[in-house]
């Protein structure tokens, strides 16, 4: 039996339980891509299956034994089990994924975000099997996935960069020498991957060795690459990213920025657009820098260029590029009316980006709240378990992207995000007001979630006034014990 899917559609096509026919325009055949393996799970896999239907493509879902009751299985045209619960045996199992893709007649692979989305070796294996990898070319993934090489590429493109090491380090002795030359405080970053893993802040040399080994070990476990890059740490900055798209003809466009400053230990919790911290002149310069970098590397597909921004000096600096779709891409969709996942699929089958997309006119303000199965009052510890009640809000300007439902068993094996609440309004004040009502009406029982965190955040004057920075959540907002839920 197909279970109900609680998702509010804002993308211009019917998608409840995967029903609805694509428009005549969407049925036009593209180059070679007709059947897509969705190499992911959760809400992005569900979203991708619906986007395939919208543009006239067939989809094949994969699932682990732990995800046997996940709705993306039923929305796709076919579904294959690829292994037991651990991601290394299922969603990171490249041979199994490629076998399913070939056996099920796919000609393309959609990686989404996380897992193998930024794995250049996997993209190359797809090509070797005659499968289109829906993302940038392997050499671009490899270039921009290496923090040191990405910095060099940005510098060549005339994009400001934070002072840092010219290479990444496997050994502590060499890293110590570079740390002395750059100066403290230092941000230690994994050369590969993202999502805050393999990142530490060292205030002085006394703490550097211990933190370097921690970061190296975490990076090795998460990405199979323990090399660590060093960067001067800027204490009171905002995190701003630019959504890019490129096509096979060399055209690269920007679709505006998103402000991702609300984060804890480098893990994003809330994203919004446009950034409340940028003036028009700085915004234009930042968007231009992102496009310049994208064009310089011949970028193709969806990607984001990440910056830190100092409000006092109005200076911004490149920090990295994510060569995939982002979790927070619905914020941009809410402002532009575009379906970015469908746009990824169209670009992959050879369609050119239209002139009208460059800086597509954005209207209003949008905010995304990540709903995680975590106990935010106890160090954001994971809270897997069965959802006894799941009653998402509805209303004008309210959208929920989720794969869970009442009675769903949240597994302990994967990322803890169970939904994304996207709220939009005429301006930031309107969006915040709608968000307060939506989160207040969101009923979820059975497990701990971050809904209480978002309620407290919306009531905080510093957040509402925009006076925050990337370390504000842990250093100020959560500095005192909170008992409210």
The residue among 334, 341, 464, 459 whose CA lies nearest residue 396 is 334
- Active-site residues: which are they? 324
Is residue 319 within 8 A of residue 187, CB to CB? The reply is no
Alpha carbon distances (Å) from 315 to 176, 281, 308: 28, 11, 8
Q: In a 10 Å sphere around its CB, with 0-12 CB exposed, 13-18 middle and 19+ buried, how is residue 102 labelled?
A: middle
Spatial neighbors of 288 by CB under 8 A, at least 6 apart, are none
Cα–Cα distance for residue pair 339/351, rounded to 1 Å: 15
CA dihedral sign of residues 370, 451, 263, 116: negative
**φ/ψ (deg, to 5) at 44:** -70, -35
CB neighbourhood size of 388 (10 A):
11
The distance in angstroms from the start CA to the end CA of the chain is: 35
DSSP assignment string, 255-302: EEEEEEEEEETTEEEEEEES-TT--HHHHHHHHHHHHHHHHHTT--EE
Cα–Cα distance for residue pair 483/411, rounded to 1 Å: 27
CA of residue 462 relative to chain centroid, distance: 25
Is residue 147 within 8 A of residue 229, CB to CB? The reply is yes
């Amino acid at each position: 039996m197909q279970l109900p899917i609680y998702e509010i559609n804002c993308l211009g096509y019917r998608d409840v339980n995967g029903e609805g026919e694509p428009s005549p325009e969407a049925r036009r055949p593209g180059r070679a891509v007709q059947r897509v393996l969705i190499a992911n799970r959760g809400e992005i896999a569900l979203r991708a299956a619906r986007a395939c239907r919208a543009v006239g493509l067939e989809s094949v879902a994969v699932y682990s034994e732990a995800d046997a009751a996940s709705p993306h299985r039923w929305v796709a045209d076919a579904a294959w089990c690829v292994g037991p619960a651990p991601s290394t045996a299922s969603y990171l199992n490249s041979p199994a994924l490629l076998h399913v893709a070939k056996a099920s007649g796919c000609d393309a692979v959609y990686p989404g975000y996380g897992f193998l989305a930024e794995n250049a070796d996997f993209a190359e294996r797809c090509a070797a099997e005659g499968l289109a990898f829906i993302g940038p070319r392997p050499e671009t993934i490899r270039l921009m996935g290496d923090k040191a090489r990405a910095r060099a590429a940005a510098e060549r493109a005339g994009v400001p960069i934070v002072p840092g090491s010219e290479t990444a380090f496997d050994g502590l002795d060499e890293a110590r020498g570079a740390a002395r030359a750059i100066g403290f405080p230092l941000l230690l970053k994994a050369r590969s991957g993202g999502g805050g893993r393999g990142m530490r802040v060292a205030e002085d040399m006394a703490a550097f060795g211990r933190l370097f080994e921690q970061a190296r070990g975490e990076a090795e476990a998460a990405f199979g690459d323990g090399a660590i890059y060093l960067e001067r740490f800027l204490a009171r900055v905002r995190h701003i990213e630019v959504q890019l798209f490129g096509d096979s003809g060399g055209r690269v466009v920007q679709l505006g920025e998103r402000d991702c400053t609300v984060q804890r230990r480098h893990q994003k919790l809330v994203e919004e657009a446009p950034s409340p911290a940028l003036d028009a002149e700085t915004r234009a310069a930042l968007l231009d820098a992102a496009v310049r970098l994208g064009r310089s590397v011949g970028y193709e597909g969806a990607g984001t260029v990440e910056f830190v921004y100092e409000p006092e000096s109005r200076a911004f600096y490149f920090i990295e590029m994510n060569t995939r779709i982002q979790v927070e891409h619905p914020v941009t969709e809410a402002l532009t009316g575009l379906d970015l996942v469908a746009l990824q699929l169209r670009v992959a089958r050879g369609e050119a980006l239209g002139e009208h997309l460059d800086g597509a006119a954005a209207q209003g303000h949008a905010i995304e709240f990540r709903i995680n199965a975590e106990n935010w009052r106890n160090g954001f510890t994971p809270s897997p378990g069965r959802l006894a009640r799941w009653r998402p809000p509805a209303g004008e300007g309210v959208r929920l992207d989720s794969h869970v439902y009442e009675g769903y068993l949240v597994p302990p094996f994967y990322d803890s995000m169970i939904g994304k609440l996207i709220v939009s309004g005429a301006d930031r004040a309107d969006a915040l007001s709608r968000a307060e009502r939506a989160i207040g009406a969101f009923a979820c029982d059975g497990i701990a979630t971050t809904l209480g965190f978002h309620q407290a955040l919306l009531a905080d004057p510093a957040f509402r006034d925009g006076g925050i920075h990337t370390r504000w959540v842990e250093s100020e907002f959560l500095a005192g014990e909170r008992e409210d839920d």
